[in-house]
Amino acid sequence: MSWSDFQEFRGQSAFSRPNEGDFGFGSGGGDFFYYSDGSGVPIADNDSDGLSDNAGVGVNYNFDNKKVKFNTSYFYNQTLQNLRTERFQQSFLPENSFVSQDSSRTRDFFGNHAFNGRLESEIDTSNKVIVKFFYRDYGNERTISKNALYASENGIPLNTLLDNTTQNRDQNALNLTGIYSHKFKKKGRTFSVSGAYQLNDEERDKELYSENRFADDTSLSLLLSQLFRELETVEEIKGSALYTEPLGGKWYSSTFVNLSAVEKTANQPVVDLLLAETVDSLSMWYRTQTDYQRVGTSLRYGHDGVNVSIGLGAQRIRLANENAVLEGAPLRTPVLERTFSNILPNVSINYNPNKGFSSLSYSYLVKAPDALNLQPVTRIASPLYRSVGNPELTPERRHVIRANYNHWGGGNDIGFGINGTYTYFENQTIFNQTVTFVEGVGFTTTSAPENYQGGQAFRSSVWANFPLVKSTLEMGVSGYAGTSQNPVFINSIENINTRDNYGADVDFTLTPGQNLFLQAVFRYGIQDIRYSIQSTQNQRPKSYGADMSVKWMFLPGTFLESNFDYSVYENERLGFEQSLPIWNASIRKLLGASNKVEVRLAAYDIFNRRLQIEQSGDAFSVFRNTNNTLARYFMASISYNFRGYESKIKSNNFW
């Protein structure tokens, strides 16, 4: 199912602009969890990982007139996915490194019931009400089998690890939102108020079985068999208010208030299945409360497409956390309660002429720590990997500057634009690594979150379209460049990972007539990954290729369509090179006076070469994932569309 298919099913009201009722600049500052109207919908494409069996059914109702708009829908979908992944990873230590190669098989089944509704009513010319609801009932069954080989940087085998994981998950989510707005008689004076209640109730059972064998001793050196049960409830109540006052001429002031209270309660007992007893050191119950209060005001100017806003807000975050082995048991540490206050400036400038759009903005964002990262309890993923929380974490703070300029030339098909975002982390959460070699076990890694002052990221893009031959040949150019600095401590030694990303695309579109469309796209991308503690491990994974497409209506209502994509993935440092030629082709015929019936014969991935490849790196490792995906298949189909199929070639009709 494609996104356009789902939107057609839902009807015209599905395109209503979302409004969560968080008034004021920014997002409100909280860790609000939202479920969009399309949550859980099986939107698939030819490049999705693994092999999937999908099914879905739903019903939709829309009512729309001048004063009342109402949309409601129910949708059920299920997916069974089988995924094979081959992963190579090199992890860095201050003085050396080690590598791991693993092969995993994942079987994933989920079923999802989703109910949506939205009512918008204009009571009169001055008053408007919006009510929205969402309910989701979600179930997931997952089994993962993984075999991993660990070796020294010289390729000497150290140990092997076998992991078998079975996980069952049930989730219920509810979201209710109400918004009321009022326009006063004085032009420009408005008042809006909103309220929302959100509930996420989840139960997870995970059974982990691990075998670890050392290379020079084939006997079993470490066996782990544990059952993790997690009962988690997240509940949030929030409200916002906004008052806008005209100041005369083209000036306005806006004052807003945001309030929210989030409580997360979790009970996570861990049972050793070999000893049939609870492991107190790994079990935990915790309750975290996060309260946000924010008030702010902004001064706005608007005239002839120019909008300028300068705002200042004050935010208070109250954070309380308690932790015990079980609910009702003595607390591990005293109740943690802290308050953080911040001033939040915000500036935005927008210019919207008839043929373009440009903007410049600055914002200061503050985000509370994740509740799980506050818990001072060890969590085991396998005998070789574990993590522990940090109750002393403080909120993340970052400065963000965004700028963009886009211009369209109207009927002459000329357009260009440039966009950029710069982020400076005044305080961020990083996950430090402690890696030790244990005889008879191998390299064990413990991850712990800490606050770090510093770090930055920048990303920019540029694009341009222009005709080479009017109405026949068009050329497009696009490019991107970005850099980020990601600090982390490995065995107490700081390692700064600098990662640069840049690339470019060039495309040519030829339309010699109404019945023929041809396109060629050439692309190149590269990552430059550098490490401060081991510069000899620096590397530059690349990906490049070309895409050729043709669409030809060679007889009335009869179309030949073909696409050939050639991609190359390289990493010279690791001696890796993979090329993927992917060829798709189809022929289709429209039938009937109104073109409501389509018959199609199609061949996908004719060379049977499709794979999903990912190359990247982080602050302490580089990795490569290779996943299976749907490869060669053939399809004969007949479709009926009540509105009729388009009988002309569209250049943006991608498949």
Cα–Cα distances in angstroms (integers) from residue 297 to residues 119, 208, 307, in the given order: 30, 52, 16
Cα(643)–Cα(649) distance, rounded to whole angstroms? 17
Q: Using the predicted structure, report yes or no on whether residue 518 has a pLDDT greater than 80.
A: yes
**Beta strand ranges found along 305-355 (DSSP E):** 306-324, 336-351
Cα–Cα distances in angstroms (integers) from residue 21 to residues 144, 239, 360, in the given order: 40, 8, 24
Query: Which H or E run contains 10?
Result: helix 3-10
Total count of residues recorded for the chain: 655
Cα–Cα distances in angstroms (integers) from residue 560 to residues 5, 397, 587, 634, in the given order: 22, 54, 5, 15
Cα(642)–Cα(594) distance, rounded to whole angstroms? 9
Cα–Cα distances in angstroms (integers) from residue 397 to residues 25, 33, 46, 394, in the given order: 16, 20, 39, 9
- At 438 the pLDDT is 78
Return the bridge partners of 608, or none: none
- At 638 the pLDDT is 92
Q: Using the predicted structure, report yes or no on whether residue 541 has a pLDDT greater than 70.
A: yes
pLDDT digit string, tens, across residues 221-249: 667 888 988 999 999 999 999 999 999 88
Mean pLDDT, rounded, for 36-43: 41
Cα(400)–Cα(383) distance, rounded to whole angstroms? 40
Query: Closest Cα partner for 407 from 415, 397, 399?
Result: 415
Cα(623)–Cα(88) distance, rounded to whole angstroms? 6
Cα(188)–Cα(59) distance, rounded to whole angstroms? 41
Q: Using the predicted structure, report yes or no on whether residue 12 has a pLDDT greater than 90.
A: no
- At 51 the pLDDT is 85
Is 442 or 466 the better-scoring residue by pLDDT?
A: 466
Amino acid at 621: S
Query: Closest Cα partner for 453 from 396, 531, 374?
Result: 396
Tell me how crowded residue 177 is: count the other CB atoms within 10 A of its CB: 20
pTM above the 0.85 mark? no
- pLDDT, mean over the chain: 86
Q: Using the predicted structure, report yes or no on whether residue 41 has a pLDDT greater than 50.
A: no
Cα(538)–Cα(617) distance, rounded to whole angstroms? 10
Please, what is the Cα angle at 235 between 233 and 236, to 5 degrees?
Answer: 160
Is residue 464 within 8 A of residue 416, CB to CB? The reply is yes
Q: Using the predicted structure, report yes or no on whether residue 498 has a pLDDT greater than 70.
A: yes
Is 598 or 10 the better-scoring residue by pLDDT?
A: 598
Cα–Cα distances in angstroms (integers) from residue 518 to residues 256, 260, 467, 651, 653, in the given order: 52, 54, 15, 9, 12
Query: Which H or E run contains 616?
Result: strand 612-617
The helices-and-strands tally (H runs, E runs) of the chain is: 1, 30
Q: Using the predicted structure, report yes or no on whether residue 121 has a pLDDT greater than 90.
A: yes
Q: Using the predicted structure, report yes or no on whether residue 94 has a pLDDT greater than 90.
A: no
Is residue 317 within 8 A of residue 370, CB to CB? The reply is no
Cα(247)–Cα(241) distance, rounded to whole angstroms? 20
Q: Is 399 left (phi over 0), alpha (psi -120 to 50) or beta?
A: beta
Is residue 341 within 8 A of residue 314, CB to CB? The reply is yes
The greatest distance separating any two alpha carbons of the chain, rounded to the nearest whole angstrom, comes to 85
Split at pLDDT 50, 70, 90, the class of 339 is very high
Split at pLDDT 50, 70, 90, the class of 604 is very high
Mean pLDDT, rounded, for 49-66: 84
pLDDT digit string, tens, across residues 433-461: 998 887 767 788 899 999 999 899 999 99
DSSP string, 110-124: EEEEEEEEEEEEE-S
Return the bridge partners of 496, or none: 487
Query: Torsions phi, psi of 506, nearest 5?
Result: -130, 130
From 93-97, 326-330, 480-484, the region with the lowest mean pLDDT: 93-97
Is residue 160 within 8 A of residue 112, CB to CB? The reply is no
Beta-carbon-side half-sphere exposure of residue 648 (alpha carbons within 13 Å)? 6
- At 9 the pLDDT is 60
Q: Using the predicted structure, report yes or no on whether residue 78 has a pLDDT greater than 90.
A: no
Split at pLDDT 50, 70, 90, the class of 654 is very low
Cα–Cα distances in angstroms (integers) from residue 170 to residues 82, 131, 139, 174, 228, in the given order: 20, 27, 5, 14, 14
Helix, strand, or coil (residue 376): coil
Q: Using the predicted structure, report yes or no on whether residue 494 has a pLDDT greater than 50.
A: yes
pLDDT digit string, tens, across residues 170-200: 999 999 999 999 999 998 899 999 999 999 9
Cα(132)–Cα(21) distance, rounded to whole angstroms? 11
Q: Using the predicted structure, report yes or no on whether residue 11 has a pLDDT greater than 60.
A: no
Strands 442-452 vs 385-388: parallel, antiparallel or unpaired: parallel
Tell me how crowded residue 431 is: count the other CB atoms within 10 A of its CB: 16
Amino acid at 390: N
Return the bridge partners of 499, or none: 484, 529
pLDDT digit string, tens, across residues 359-398: 999 999 999 999 999 999 988 888 788 999 999 999 999 9
Cα(594)–Cα(312) distance, rounded to whole angstroms? 58
Residues 6+ apart with CB under 8 A from 382: 161, 163, 208, 210, 224
- At 412 the pLDDT is 58
Encoded tokens for 329: 């048991």
